[in-house]
Amino acid sequence: MPGAPTYSSRMKILFISHDAHRNGAPIVFLHFLRWFQEHGGLPFEILLKNGGELEPEFSALAPTQVWTRDRPVYDDISLIYSNTVTNGELLEELAYTNASVICHVHELEYWITYKTSARNNACIRQYTTRYVAASRAVQRALQTTLDVPMNLVDVVYECVPVATAPANPAHCAELRAHLGIPSDSPIVGGSGTTDWRKGPDIFVQVARALSIYNPSAHFLWVGGDAKGAQYGALRHDADKAGLGDRVHFTGHTDRPHDYYALFDVFAMTSREDPFPLVNLETAAMGIPIVCFDQSGGSAEFVGDECGYTVPYLDVVGMAERIRDLLDDDELRREKGAAARRRSAGFDVRIAGPRLLEIIRATLTTVGKGARA
């Protein structure tokens, strides 16, 4: 058709990850890049703004370089796909490529406002052709913090490979014994880094509130630091609250699912989280979730079908909903089954084609296309 946009398999994409550490955004990115390698049909390279323990996994997919180490030069890039809103100044340094830019945003108001620089955000606005938001909450944050027009934002929810192997009862028993948790004690799970946004301090407060009703419950936080000042503050609160032997922190682990399999209920205590992967991972295991409203994308997934959504920072309310689930086996199974069914809609095999569609549409745009 005359005048129709063209798409060439010779076009090359540069995928940028802000780092290669084992946390949400790089993990989602790896899931997608593995899918893209098989289904994308386009050559690509990977640039890491900073390295990390996942660097070999990126390198296994395509030529990968670390910017701070090699400062590579690219002269044949048609599209830059930048993962996270923190790469603004890097996009400025790559502006010589004259490539279109997709910015995949996994951050919300607090992070964009207080954890990125004004210069970074100005560069994001200047060089981005199109945005992908990890949830509706992220889409709103782009509008309120960066004044990005909504017609430039596509919402594609975070994704994981949702197939989960059944829990191994013997291994679960071993883990319980290792942690000092009795075989008949219910376990309330939490997960993430031990920073303020993830709310591990709130997790301890929920443990305190729930223990009034259920003194046999144990509380297991997976991931984050198990040493240092942040951990010391959490340990201090747990000990002073009389929960020293019932609040457990695994520290960093590359096998979080082994611990998730122990959970009866998952407490999503984040103050701000775009669309937490752990919600999808625990839901796929049939574990109901209790989360806060207005904390990001959790409520978009959980609602009141896959668990409960309670008012922001309502610690007592969260403890009460967890108590309801622990006290009623049928209710817990019902909510867990709903969570498992819902998680199936967030597989990388569903999100991948949508992201590929956005990539192809951006590649066929004449020139750089509309900018925010």
Domain ranges of the chain: 13-160+348-363, 169-346
285 pLDDT more than 70? yes
Contact by Cβ (8 Å): 108, 136: no
Model confidence at 366, in pLDDT bands (50, 70, 90)? very low
Percentage of residues in the chain having pLDDT higher than 70? 94
Percentage of residues in the chain having pLDDT higher than 90? 88
Please tell me if the domain spanning 13-160+348-363 has the same topology as the one spanning 169-346: yes
User: Cα–chain-centroid distance for residue 32?
Assistant: 13
Q: 155 forms bridges with which residues in the sheet?
A: 133
Give the pLDDT confidence score for residue 269 in this predicted structure.
Answer: 98
Contact by Cβ (8 Å): 103, 80: no
Model confidence at 353, in pLDDT bands (50, 70, 90)? very high
Model confidence at 162, in pLDDT bands (50, 70, 90)? low
Whole-number mean pLDDT of the chain? 93
Model confidence at 363, in pLDDT bands (50, 70, 90)? very high
User: Cα–chain-centroid distance for residue 335?
Assistant: 22
pLDDT tens digit string along 238-275?
A: 999 999 999 999 999 989 999 999 999 999 999 999 99
Give the pLDDT confidence score for residue 4 in this predicted structure.
Answer: 38
Contact by Cβ (8 Å): 2, 33: no
Instruction: Kindly state the tokens that stand for 318.
Output: 């969260």
Query: Does the domain formed by 169-346 have CATH 3.30.70.260?
Result: no
CA 321 – CA 302 distance, rounded (Å): 13
Closest CA to 100 of 29, 3, 4, 5: 5
Closest CA to 340 of 168, 190, 163, 159: 163
The CATH number given to 13-160+348-363 is 3.40.50.2000
Give the pLDDT confidence score for residue 24 in this predicted structure.
Answer: 84
Region 133-153 average pLDDT: 97
Closest CA to 176 of 226, 227, 218, 222: 218
Q: In what order do the strands lie in the sheet with 100-105?
A: 64-66, 44-48, 13-17, 79-83, 100-105, 130-133, 153-155
Region 331-358 average pLDDT: 96
Model confidence at 2, in pLDDT bands (50, 70, 90)? very low
pLDDT tens digit string along 99-140?
A: 999 999 999 999 999 999 999 999 999 999 999 999 999 999
